[in-house]
Amino acid sequence: MITIHDIPMISTKEQLESAVNALGFLPFFTSLIPGFSLRDHADPAIWFADDAEGPWEWKADVGAYGKLLRGKAVFMSPEWYAILACYRRDGYDHEGMYEDGLLPHSALDIMALLEHESIISTDLRIRTGLTDKAAGFDKVMNLLQMKCFVLPTSFEYTFDTKGRRYGWGLARYTASDKKYGKLIEDAESRLSPAQAKELLIARVMDICPETDRRTAERLIK
């Protein structure tokens, strides 16, 4: 079993993909567990490189990426994302979650659009009417990511008059089932949400051997 101690310094997208596939998941920034993040393993030379691509440009190119653990950005292999979805959805679809008060009505409006097409965040705000801060667009999108119904598929950048890219990039979102529906169905057919949770906890404790169960459970909750 590979652990976080076996992950070499990451300086290429291929190395990141290899680490994510080997571990199953890897938080982008420092997490509850020391050493368990891309930030802890990234070559400092590529963290904010002006003349080369780095982690910020790789976000949508490696596995399933989104705000998946404690509302923070994480890379996950497709197989482990499906297990996370089985746990987080808890036997519901998004409409059932709304009916039981687990999602707001605005989540239905967002899902109605994303089930048919991928949409950049600025357009999604406008088309759902969630244009001001009080509307809670970011909060709902984070919740839909945590419940494994939505993922960003790409990040699109703005360029200045000299062709230089600037800013953090605007996320283009899609419904998770459009990318990983079959994997999620397979996970839900063979695992209960409780079993999926136990697999996730065990995986965290395996790849982070100094971590106790309580911390592992807090991470994946």
Q: For 28-47, what is the HEC assignment?
A: CCCCCCCCCCHHHHECHHHH
Query: Does an H or E element contain 11, and which?
Result: none
Q: What percent of the chain has pLDDT over 70?
A: 93
Helix (H, G, I), strand (E, B) or coil at 60: coil
**Distance of alpha carbon 80 from alpha carbon 94, whole angstroms:** 20
27 close to 66: Cβ distance less than 8 angstroms: no
**Distance of alpha carbon 174 from alpha carbon 117, whole angstroms:** 7
Tell me the DSSP string of 90-148: TT--HHHHHHTTSS-HHHHHHHHHHTT--EEHHHHHHHHT--SGGG-HHHHHHHHHHTT
How do residues 173-189 score in pLDDT, each as one tens digit? 999 999 999 999 999 99
What band does 211 get if pLDDT is binned at 50, 70 and 90?
very high
Rounded to two decimals, the pTM is 0.93
* Confidence check: pLDDT of 41 > 90: yes
What band does 159 get if pLDDT is binned at 50, 70 and 90?
low
What is the pairing mode between strands 64-69 and 25-27?
unpaired
**Which residue has better confidence, 117 or 156?**
117
Pair of tokens at residue 122? 């600025």
